[in-house]
Chains A and B, each alone.
Chain A
Amino acid sequence: MAAPRIADEAFTQFVAAYGAMARRVAWRLMGGDGAAAEDVVQNAFVKAHAKFETVLHEGAREAWFRQVVVREALNQLRWLGVRRRVAQLAGFDDRAQPAPMRDGGEVARIETAVASLSPQQRAIFVLVHLEEQTVAEAAAQLGIAEGTAKSHLHRALTSLRTQLEDLR
């Protein structure tokens, strides 16, 4: 089968332009799990490659690709959750190693608190407060209603407040 005709140069530029964003978003959504984030980024770029010539318009590329990364990360988190449950049933723990604490200080505690949120809560928190998206944009990327996104965000912040009470 012949390789698909793509604008190689344009795709290379696309990867260069959005690679860092994809890595950062994936890494944060995966709670600092580097290997899982790499899988997410690769899958997202493979999907982007498949639609690069037909679907992606120059102006809409970033929003579309950010959505692909976010949804791919959520899929990966679901899959990891299933794997973890199966591993627990089978009698061995497959839990991913938490992100390494750099200094054992304040930021490390915040990282741990963020990583402990549920996937949806972490996703909405990361997108709104770390990636500086609006709640509406984040909800669209997650494929949920804006009200649902607000609810997840509220719960995420409540959980963080409880865990980080002594730091305030």
Chain B
Amino acid sequence: MKRNEDEAMTAAQLRQLRDGWQPAGELPADYAAQVVAVAVKRRRRRMGLSVLLALVAVLPVVWQLRQAPEVVAETSMPEATPMVAAEAVAEAPALGSATGAEGGLLPQPVAETGTAAPMVEVAPDLVAEAVVLRPERALKSRRSYRDSFRELGEEYDGLADIYFDDAAR
């Protein structure tokens, strides 16, 4: 108090300020109830906002799933259902006839010499595996086919995907 008296105002002034500089009136008698009502209202508003934000975040995903369910199916390994296998078997003769052979045409990896090989006929068993057998086998074949490119140090151009995609359907 002494320091304050020296620096700014007298003790009497400070006391006057302390006693006199106060708000007039009092809080209403039901102030606690008013506070509770405001608190509940704010909590509800906050909850509503959270729900709204969650909906905004989830709706596009749901919409996307409804629009293109096959996209989701392709991103996961397809199960070997009887229906898928039957479809694959049904498509096999058509593919075979399209290529004019029992097998099919697949682009070959680029050789180490740097010259790209032309489309050549590949072993029928590879196509048979891709087309006729179970889809996961076909996908495995796709991987091994890609690996053969990697072993040669080349990048797979994806040309043969159509065979494997057909097999996977």
The chain A residues found within 8 Å of chain B, CB to CB, are 1, 3-4, 6, 8, 11-12, 14-16, 19-20, 23-24, 27-28, 32, 34, 37, 41-42, 45-46, 49-50, 102, 106-107, 110-111, 114, 129-130, 157-158, 160-161, 164, 167-168
Verify if B20 is at the interface (C-beta below 8 Å from A): yes
Supplied contacts A129-B18, A161-B9, 6 more A-B pairs, CB within 8 Å: A32-B23, A37-B23, A42-B38, A49-B35, A160-B8, A161-B8
> A23 with B36: in contact, given A107-B17, A157-B4 (CB under 8 Å)?
no
List, in ascending order, chain B residues with CB within 8 A of A130's CB: 17-18, 21
> How would you classify the secondary structure of chain A's contact residues: helix, strand, loop or mixed?
helix
- Cβ of B42 and Cβ of A46 under 8 Å apart? yes
Verify if B22 is at the interface (C-beta below 8 Å from A): yes
- Cβ of A6 and Cβ of B35 under 8 Å apart? no
- Cβ of A46 and Cβ of B39 under 8 Å apart? yes
What are the nearest 7 A-B pairs in CB distance?
A: A27-B23, A160-B8, A15-B32, A12-B32, A19-B27, A45-B35, A157-B8
| A14 to B33 CA separation, bound complex (whole angstroms) | 12
15 contacts between A and B (CB under 8 A): A1-B47, A6-B36, A15-B32, A19-B27, A23-B27, A24-B23, A32-B23, A41-B27, A42-B35, A42-B38, A45-B35, A106-B13, A110-B9, A110-B17, A158-B7
Verify if B10 is at the interface (C-beta below 8 Å from A): yes
Verify if B122 is at the interface (C-beta below 8 Å from A): no
Which chain B residues numbered 1 to 44 have a C-beta less than 8 Å away from chain A? 4, 7-10, 13-14, 16-18, 20-23, 26-27, 31-36, 38-40, 42-44
List, in ascending order, chain A residues with CB within 8 A of B4's CB: 129, 157
Closest to B27 in A: A19
B145 to chain A, nearest CB (A): 58
| A37 to B33 CA separation, bound complex (whole angstroms) | 19
> A114 with B8: in contact, given A1-B44, A11-B32, A19-B31 (CB under 8 Å)?
no
| A4 to B22 CA separation, bound complex (whole angstroms) | 34
List, in ascending order, chain B residues with CB within 8 A of A114's CB: 17, 21
List, in ascending order, chain B residues with CB within 8 A of A37's CB: 23
- Cβ of A50 and Cβ of B39 under 8 Å apart? yes
| A161 to B20 CA separation, bound complex (whole angstroms) | 20
Which residue of A20, A32, A46 has the most chain B CB atoms within 10 A of its CB atom? A46
